Amino acid sequence: MKTYDTEIELRTTADTDIIDITSKVLEAVRKSGVKDGIVNVFTPGSTAAVSTIEYEDGVVQDLKRAIERLAPRGERYNHDSRWGDGNGYAHVRAALMKPSLTIPITNGVPILGTWQQVVLLDFDNRPRRRQVIIKVMGE
């Protein structure tokens, strides 16, 4: 079995960034030489997530609004009371969205829908340097 690991670093703002990282995932799969297997995309930390979406401005804005309704910034969060950092909402959002994504690879290509892109979502209330780990495994 082949494995290939790479990391990317992204700078984010404090405004629920949704960043298309599809090209980085495709590049990692190509460099790995894996024809059949999986690619796992993971972001460490408890205030960011990885998902897929049609990366189109309307859908991106719709997702931001939906996330705001699920875990609004202005609510009282016990985390904020304990730590005073004001990002309790970001922890809840990240827990709902999850920190990783696994995509099957067939014939050397990750199986994504026509309009499906891989995205990093950063929910924190301050600019961050986010790490994304991409691990490709297979034959």
Express each pLDDT in 38-96 by its tens digit. Answer: 999 999 999 999 999 999 999 999 999 999 999 999 999 999 999 999 999 999 999 99
What's the Cα-to-Cα distance from 98 to each of 34, 83, 138, rounded to whole Å? Answer: 25, 22, 23
**Domain covering 2-138: architecture:** Sandwich (2.60)
Express each pLDDT in 108-127 by its tens digit. Answer: 999 999 999 999 999 999 99
State the pTM of this model: 0.96
Domain boundaries, the chain: 2-138
